[in-house]
């Protein structure tokens, strides 16, 4: 029994490393902990359901209590799907709150480098997102076609 609990705690600690906020880490930890716990439950004396419940609890609590500096496995996979959906143009909501001054800086810098973001009007439309994506691809960056302060710094360096 102690061995099973130790394995579940270890899975919980690893699972809790996904995410930049306590909420993300808790959700990721619970999900991965439940999966790991179900496996442990299947190969030990616990039932699969008991293992999954214990794993979810351990992973979720550990995720909430662990900070990014302790264990960092990056952004959760379930958030990557949202980023890709937004960059494909199917969800314009994420671009509506983008700072027009930042977008204008990015558009100007892209145009200076031969990319065609359209007019430097501060609006992140399809041409701007396509130019950002092309720049990101050409420079080995994560391609999300999103105007960010980090992208502006990269373009201006």
Residue-wise pLDDT tens digits, 99-123:
899 999 999 999 999 999 999 999 9
What is the CATH number that goes with domain 77-156?
Answer: 1.10.101
Task: Please list the residue range(s) of the chain that carry CATH number 1.10.101.
Answer: 77-156
Contact of 40 with 4, CB cutoff 8 Å: yes
Nearest Cα to Cα of residue 57 among 87, 86, 37, 85: 37
- CA-atom Rg of the chain in angstroms: 21
117-146 pLDDT, tens digit each: 999 999 999 999 999 999 999 999 999 999
Is the pLDDT at 153 greater than 70? The verdict is yes
């Amino acid at each position: 029994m102690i061995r099973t609990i130790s394995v579940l705690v270890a899975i919980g600690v690893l699972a809790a490393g996904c995410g930049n906020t306590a909420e993300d880490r808790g959700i990721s930890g619970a999900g991965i902990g439940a999966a790991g716990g179900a496996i442990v439950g299947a190969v030990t004396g616990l039932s699969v359901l008991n293992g999954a419940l214990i794993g979810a609890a351990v992973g979720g609590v550990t995720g909430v209590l662990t900070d990014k500096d302790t264990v960092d496995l990056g952004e959760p996979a379930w958030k990557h799907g949202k980023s890709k959906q937004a960059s494909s143009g199917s969800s314009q909501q994420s671009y509506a709150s983008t700072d027009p001054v930042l977008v204008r800086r990015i558009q100007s810098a892209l145009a200076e480098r031969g990319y065609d973001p359209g007019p430097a009007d501060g609006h992140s439309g399809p041409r701007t997102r396509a130019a950002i994506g092309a720049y990101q691809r050409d420079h080995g960056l994560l391609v999300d076609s999103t105007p960010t302060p980090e992208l502006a710094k990269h373009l201006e360096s």
